[in-house]
Amino acid sequence: MRVLFLGDVVGRSGRAAINARLPGLRAEWRLDFIVINGENASAGMGLTPDHARAILDAGADVVTLGDHAFDQKDMLSFISTEPRILRPMNFGKGAPGQGAGVFQATRGRKVLVAVALGQVFMKRPFADPFSAVDDVLRAHPPGGAVQASVIEIHAEATSEKTAMGHFCDGRASLVVGTHTHVPTADTMLLPGGTAYQTDAGMCGVHDSVIGMDKAEPLRRFITGMARDRFTPATGEATLSGVLVETDDSTGLARKVHAIRTGGPLVEALP
């Protein structure tokens, strides 16, 4: 299967790039399944129901969320009505919605998608992501009832994400990090056959500070004082992520490609 994963959609420019390009890429790259993190799609913070529907309508099979999952309050009720949206498994015991699911890909094939939050350098003390991921992978072993599996680790620390990759090696098709909004250059197949990249990067504007208009972050770093709110940068967004080619019978990866297209980042295509 050809599975595309795209990192955090940031603001209007990120949404516009998804709308404009995803339907064409689905055909051009013969994609069987698409996962997109949407946690920053609405004004840079969270995801509204309307924007969630737009990303799904553009061709995403699953939209995932991270630490900003419920910044837009309407998501608290909407997520229970839309199984194609996942919040992190370890977000909190009382959180509505699900953190993992099995979804339909092309030709009747099934894909497990699960998202977990890291613990290192995160704002809240989230529960252990390793045990959450272990549970879901034990329930869906490779070569079993699902033909592919995508584990997203939404975390700040590269070390924690790398450890998650090795923890899942040979048990998942893809382990990919999100949350830092900057793509890493370590796209690879791990020894056990799991595709891995520490961070997918974002679908947002790179002439910015991690997707936000650069004036206010610069002011805060330089003066130590806040004056305005953060707002998403505008301009041409880069779509960033990975495309993994999986083997239906083993559930593991055959090939993985970094994806970066649009905007100022050096282009990477499958």
The smaller minimum CB distance to Fe ion, of residues 61 and 67, is found at 67
CB 150 within 8 A of CB 113: yes
What are the CA-CA distances from residue 5 to residues 31, 118, 139, 152, 170 (Å)? Answer: 10, 19, 22, 9, 19
Three-state SS string across 49-71, please? HHHHHHHHHCCCCEEECCCCCCC
Closer Cβ to Fe ion, 51 or 179, answer by number: 179
Q: Does 66 bind Fe ion (CB under 5 A)?
A: yes
Considering CB under 5 A, how many residues would be counted as binding Fe ion? 6
Q: Which residue has the tokens 């995803």?
A: 22
Residue 166 among the catalytic residues: no
Smallest distance, Å, CB 32 to Fe ion? 25
Given the residues 51, 68, 154, 181, select the one marked as catalytic: 68
Q: Regarding beta strands 85-86 and 33-37, do their DSSP bridges make them parallel or antiparallel, or are they unpaired? A: unpaired
Question: What does the H/E/C string look like for 143-179?
Answer: CCCCCEEEEEEECCCHHHHHHHHHHHCCCCCEEEEEC
Q: How far is the CB of 154 from Fe ion (least distance, A)?
A: 6
The span from the CA of 177 to the CA of 182, in Å, is 10
- Cβ proximity to Fe ion: between 39 and 61 the closer is 39
Query: How far is the C-alpha of 215 from the C-alpha of 267, rounded, in Å?
Result: 26
**164-203 footprint of Fe ion as x/- string (CB under 5 A):** ---------------x------------------------
Identified binder of Fe ion from the candidate list 6, 44, 61, 67, rule CB under 5 A: 67
From 15-23, 40-48, 120-128, 157-165, span contacting Fe ion (CB under 5 A): 40-48
Note the residues at the interface with Fe ion (CB under 5 A). Answer: 8, 39-40, 66-67, 179
Q: What is the set of active-site residues?
A: 68
